[in-house]
Amino acid sequence: MQGDDAELTAAVRAAQDGDETAFRTVYRSVHPRLLGYVRTLVGEPDAEDITSEAWLQIARDLGRFSGDADRFRGWAARIARNRALDHIRMRGRRPAIGGDETELEGRPADADTADQALEALGTDRTLGLIARLPQDQAEAVVLRVVLGLDAKSAAAVLGKRPGAVRTAAHRGLRRLADLLGGAGGGDAAVLDGVPAQRESHSGTAGAAGVTDSRTRTQKDM
């Protein structure tokens, strides 16, 4: 377990024992990325409120959680996603899903560019471009790149197969490269030439407060 993950795991366990300082540590570590995920689902105006509601549920149900940092991020993402979908249903709106995902399930991605996406851009600009992707791709990219989940954990959040999530994330990142190219540029080249099936996650400190930076090998990849 990497240092950042070990610290988050320890903080989660201390928070479960009632340590308020530890809970604040958990919140500061996870909240900016969780907020970015909710923004891809509901847009900017409602994201803060929905993420706050998710944290109320996280705090309430924390005692029933079991697992390490990766499992906590996935658990928090599922709670936030359910809150966002409830909000969408109440407003009579549905997320715009791009394409038929059944075609993705049997097709592995030919490369994993997740570690490159946030290196190419500042966090705010990245999230703005990700929000322009088809919804299935946007969710896959944010879960994998911003929240740092592996394909298996992201699939559990979305109720999909890991292969479908890997391919949706890959397609989304390639679309992101196209958007960068259309914007003029030079950053798009950073998304090319990544070795096949290399698993890595990287975050960039930016205005949105995303600060995690790590490289890990996932067994399920």
What CATH number does residue 140 fall under? Answer: 1.10.10.10
Does 96 fall in a domain? no
User: Are both 116 and 199 inside the same structural domain?
Assistant: yes
For residue 201, list its beta bridge partners. 214
User: Are both 107 and 37 inside the same structural domain?
Assistant: no
Q: State which residues form the domain around 180.
A: 101-214
CA distances from 139 to 11, 123, 148, 164, 190 (A): 26, 16, 12, 12, 21
User: Count of domains in the chain?
Assistant: 2
User: Are both 141 and 61 inside the same structural domain?
Assistant: no
Does 141 fall in a domain? yes
pTM: 0.67
Does 95 fall in a domain? no
CATH code of 72's domain: 1.10.1740.10
User: Are both 77 and 137 inside the same structural domain?
Assistant: no
User: Are both 42 and 143 inside the same structural domain?
Assistant: no
In the chain, the largest separation of any two C-alpha atoms, in whole Å, equals 51
What does the pLDDT profile of the chain (221 residues) look like in tens digits? 455 889 999 999 999 999 999 999 999 999 998 998 998 888 878 899 999 999 999 999 999 999 999 999 999 999 999 999 999 888 765 444 333 333 333 333 333 444 444 444 445 666 777 888 898 999 998 898 888 899 999 999 999 999 999 999 999 988 888 877 765 444 443 333 322 333 333 333 333 333 333 333 333 33
